[in-house]
Structure 1
Amino acid sequence: MVQSCSAVNCCNRRIKHVKMKFHRIPTDPNRRKLWLHALRRENFTPTTKTVICEKHFTPEDYEPISKRT
């Protein structure tokens, strides 16, 4: 099954050998609510496989990974 970005008017799909990040909708209720609001989709119920592509994020949206010791 092909994974497609769930954002409005986005046609990006996960394609083999193409480097593009896809993010799943968070399970944390507060963060999940923010993401679903940002998607601006009426009557939309995401599944555990719903993804959003990297094109809808800015570098500031990512938290740095702390170095392992």
Structure 2
Amino acid sequence: MLSQTEENYLKAIYSIGLHTGKSVSTNNIAKELNTKASSVTDMIKKLSDKKLINYIKYQGANLTSKGK
């Protein structure tokens, strides 16, 4: 089961990704969720460990099929 915060991050990545069609940067996620980029980086690592997103440092994040 995912926490509300994890779900919010996944929704933000999904939403931003739909609009840009590209990988989503930590700065864009931070802006969308009104939080710090360092907090986003921590959560991205957690979501990546759970196989919910694919993240490449300096390139951004995309949802996996499990994350969708």
TM-score (ref. length: structure 2): 0.31
TM-score (ref. length: structure 1): 0.31
Higher relative contact order (CA 8 A, sep 6+): 1
